[in-house]
Amino acid sequence: MSGFFQSLARIGSYRSLPFAVAGAVLTVPASPFALVAAVSVEADSRVRALLALVAVAVLMGLLGLLGPVRRAGIGLANVLLGTRIPAPAGRPDAGARLRSGLWLALHTGLSGILLTVLAFLSLGLLVPLVWLTGGQDTISLFWDDVPLGGWTVPFGFVLLVVAVVLLAATTRAFRAGAEALLGPSGSERTALAERRAAVLAQRNRLARELHDSIGHTLTTSTIQAAAAADLVETDPVQARRALGTIEEASRSALEDLDHVLGLLREEPAATAPTRTLAEVDVLAVRAREAGLDVRLAVTGPVAALPATVSREGYRIVQEGLTNALRHAGPGAVDVRVEAGPDRLGIAVVNALPGDGPRTGRRGLTGLAERVEALRGELDAGPDGQQWRLRATIPLRAGA
């Protein structure tokens, strides 16, 4: 209760007023049809007025069954009431349509009641003004002539407080009703959860792409740039070769970056660079130019591997070489790629860094997710005085 009275000081607590006005406006198109239906019945004026109100409620309820009307109602509640009801995912089911129709009928009906009560309260607030201006000595109130006096000031204050509390209470009621009746159904919650999962999966995939491609390029380029700076005077030819390697790696990274940015912008024209294990020797050449003594051994029909497996295999070798370059520095690295009839095996082995096992396993986590998606296994860690990265990916369902 204390929270409710504290909310009276916030402007947002009186959103029910514009929301009620919007509800009254929504009834305008249906009002002529309701009046025609009421006039066609033989009854006194009060019965006809009641019939007209019922007809308006029924028409608004039927209108609320439409999917676009439900979507518009959610948008209106979010804008005017400050709710955060998610937009419907797909076509609403029968239950969602019924709740939407009930909400539109309640919205318009309660709006009419609220505006009528506020109109009477506004008239009551005029009583102190009539007495203060000395316009007249009595006023018709409570079905009788009541003499005006000092009592009109507290009377007006009480009416003002009632109006404020009423607006704040109806704002809460409108919000609760909108969230209950316009909120997602069970099927819509499932669709929203699937959509969020798809978005998260896409973000994780983009993060892996950026880490694998851009991270590898930056590591190689940094080491090559440092080597070029040392050799620019003593060995210009080797320095130019290092700069050429940086240029080639940067161009490749720009292609990867353009692909990822295209995915972020949802541009269908952006195509993924197709780098597979058929280009693993290019990775080895770049790593050698960066200072690694890469001993590459490729066996089996690598070119015949499934495209998805071959792309992920390329990323595994790339991550292994990048980690060796980043953590262990220049030195010997053994890379073995074995394409068998049932499975693909990859191993990258290098000396442990001088300060012990490496930290920062974000790239390895991404690799583990890639390999797991292909029903494979990944193992990475120290093995004696070496760091060993091993991956096994089955090529057939039963392998």
Where is pLDDT greater, at 166 or 197?
166
Check: CB of residue 285 under 8 Å from CB of residue 324: no
Degrees (nearest 5) of the Cα angle 179, 185, 190?
120
The reported pLDDT for the residue numbered 299 is: 92
Partners of 141 in the beta sheet?
144
- What letter would DSSP give residue 353? P
Degrees (nearest 5) of the Cα angle 354, 355, 359?
120
Nearest CA-CA partner of 344 in 378, 394, 272, 389 = 394
- What's CA 255's distance to the chain center, in Å? 27
Q: Which long-range contacts (CB under 8 A, 24 or more apart) does 248-255 make?
A: 248/286, 249/217, 249/220, 249/221, 249/224, 249/286, 250/217, 250/221, 252/213, 252/217, 253/213, 253/214, 253/217, 253/218
The answer to whether residue 353 scores a pLDDT higher than 50 is: yes
The reported pLDDT for the residue numbered 214 is: 67
The verdict on pTM exceeding 0.75 is no
DSSP 84-105: -PPPP-SS--HHHHHHHHHHHH
The reported pLDDT for the residue numbered 373 is: 77
Check: CB of residue 167 under 8 Å from CB of residue 17: yes
Mean predicted lDDT score pLDDT of the chain: 79
Give me the torsion for CA of 215, 339, 393, 308, rounded to 10°.
Answer: 60
Where is pLDDT greater, at 137 or 234?
234
pLDDT in tens, 60-96: 888 888 888 888 999 999 999 989 888 876 677 888 8
The reported pLDDT for the residue numbered 297 is: 93
Structure tokens belonging to residue 218: 């930056």
Alpha carbon distance 202, 320 (integer Å): 23
The residue count of the chain comes to 399
DSSP 7-57: HTTSGGGGTHHHHHHHHHHHTTTTHHHHHHHHHTS-S-HHHHHHHHHHHHH
Domains of the chain: 2-184 (no CATH), 195-273 (1.20.5), 275-399 (3.30.565.10)
What Cα–Cα distance (Å) separates residue 134 from each residue in 123, 138, 229, 254?
Answer: 17, 10, 94, 82
The reported pLDDT for the residue numbered 269 is: 43
Residue keyed to tokens 């006005």: 21
pLDDT in tens, 230-278: 777 787 777 777 777 776 667 666 666 665 666 555 554 445 556 788 8
Whole-angstrom distance between the N-terminal and C-terminal Cα of the chain?
Answer: 65
The reported pLDDT for the residue numbered 254 is: 67
pLDDT band at 123 (very low <50, low <70, confident <90, very high): confident
Partners of 333 in the beta sheet?
294, 350
